[in-house]
Amino acid sequence: MRRWRLAAGVAVAVAAASVATVIALPAGAETTAFTVTSSWSTGYQGQVEVRNNTSSTINTWRVQLTLPAGTTIVNSWNATQSVSGSTYTFTPAGWNATLTAGATTSFGFIANGTGRPTFPSSPSTPPVTTPPVTTPPATTPPVTTPPPTTTPPTGTTPVARNGQLRVCGVKLCNQAGQPVQLQGMSTHGLQWFADCYNDASIDALATDWKADLLRVSMYVQEGGYETNPAGFTAQVNSLVEKATQRGLYSIIDFHTLTPGDPNYNLARAKTFFAEVSARHAAKNNVIYEIANEPNGVSWAGIKSYAEQVIPVIRANDPDAVIIVGTRGWSSLGVSDGSSSSEITANPVNASNIMYAFHFYAASHKDNYRAEVQRAAASLPLFVTEFGTVTATGGGQVDLASTGTWLDLLDRLQISYANWTYSDAGESSAAFKPNTCGGSTYAGTGVLTESGVYLRNRIRA
């Protein structure tokens, strides 16, 4: 580890190292230190410590680094990232801006490529030396989670136990920096099944199913948001409040499906997310999913959309996790004959984000699972929707494939929401027909084959 002097109360330089080598600095200097925490044949994970070595409190900091051609940062956490050419600038995530005398904070990133960073030079800056990279025998790189930065929360509900979530490396982590896996259910379209989402049903999800998560799916077309923006926004807000009252995390899903290019709804997305992020900015349980299943559109088009919508949310809610849909109905491109490599080569320019993956167990099997395993080594993934049936939402329930999928997600610590927490007349529905609108939602008597399986799996 090498330490570097900061200038004018702001961190401006880091150096690459994977061994603990400390360079003596003048008394009173503020410093940063950079460590390669793990490396593999195509990239590495780095961590930067920012320390206030002065006797006074500083209210912000700034770290700049430049990467050589062929190396890019594909994900970062615990900092706000911007990029100009090959130079990356990191500033506080919000919660870690102020450092008292002697205090430290840290952030990390995943690099695609093996080139180490270089930094602004000064007369007192010692030369940078890069140690050799060790390649682990496995093809999947080991992931080292940044150490906890706050005291772990306590409580009985998922939100009380975990607090504000954030992305750390390729994992979803709680406020203490520990990896977490959320398991829950997704609503169906609010325009069709609003009566499924009352106090009794959300109580059952929280206390009988013991779920962590409610995904609120608001269709934009097909009789959804575009027909009554104010009314559907109010429905979403109401369900987020119900989830909040029960200590559940809530995904606000901007459910675009047809047309598949999310840019068609760009103006609507900006309006909607400006309103809901302003409403829920003070909450620590809200996750934003900005485009459900992009299809018939390139990754470049999806990325462009994301980089225009994310700043709208960040203007109100700088700390929330944001999920970006992927090509081919959020299949990481597999359903379009592509792969996640197009994302790792050209990631969304934003921090604290994850990428969506969807599967339907009877239709999507080994080749899709192989891509998820490969992608999870370098991208933070969230399965915001999956079914136990075919991609149509119906057909035979395939519990064998579903079990193989969920075993994989458990092993990789990838969070998920099942489609659907509804009484729709299709085999993917958790409730038997005509359950919604009644008074009983708990127990297995009201559940379909898919519902019984998911309830048991989540409870376990």
Report the candidate in 261, 256, 246 with the shortest Cα–Cα distance to residue 300: 261
Q: What is the pLDDT along the chain (460 residues), one digit of tens a residue?
A: 333 333 333 333 333 333 332 223 333 345 778 888 766 667 787 888 888 888 888 888 888 889 999 898 877 777 788 888 889 998 887 667 888 888 888 787 878 888 898 876 433 333 333 334 433 334 333 333 343 333 444 579 999 999 999 999 999 999 999 999 999 999 999 999 999 999 999 999 999 999 999 999 999 999 999 999 999 999 999 999 999 999 999 999 999 999 999 999 999 999 999 999 999 999 999 999 999 999 999 999 999 999 999 999 999 999 999 999 999 999 999 999 999 999 999 999 999 999 999 999 999 999 999 999 999 999 999 999 999 999 999 999 999 999 999 999 999 999 999 999 999 999 999 999 999 989 999 999 999 999 999 999 999 8
Is residue 293 annotated as part of the catalytic site, yes or no? yes
Domain harbouring 79, CATH code = 2.60.40.290
> Do 170 and 272 sit in the same domain of this protein?
yes
Token pair recorded at residue 120: 């602004």
Contact status, residue 120 vs residue 13, Cβ threshold 8 Å: yes
In a domain, 262, yes or no: yes
The closest alpha carbon to 332, from 395, 287, 377, belongs to 377
Do 236 and 369 belong together in one domain?
A: yes
pLDDT at 39: 65
Residue finishing a domain among 112, 145, 166: 112
Task: Name the catalytic one among 293, 342, 371, 426.
Answer: 293
75 and 167 part of one domain: no
Q: State the Cα torsion 264-265-267-270 to the nearest 10°.
A: -140
- Report the domain count for the chain: 2
pLDDT for 120 equals 65
Find the catalytic residue in 289, 342, 371, 385: 385
Q: Token pair for residue 258?
A: 């047809």
User: In sequence order, what DSSP letters do the residues of 226-292 get, joined into one string?
Assistant: GG-HHHHHHHHHHHHHHHHHTT-EEEEEEE--SS--GGGGHHHHHHHHHHHHHHHTT-SSEEEE--S
One-letter amino acid for residue 279 of the chain: R
* Residues spanned by the domain of 197: 158-459
Q: So what's the pLDDT on residue 154?
A: 54
CATH number where 361 lies? 3.20.20.80
> 3-state SS string over 273-333?
HHHHHHHHCCCCCEEEECCCCCCCCCHHHHHHHHHHHHHHHHHHCCCCCEEECCHHHHCCC
What is the per-residue pLDDT for 152? Answer: 45
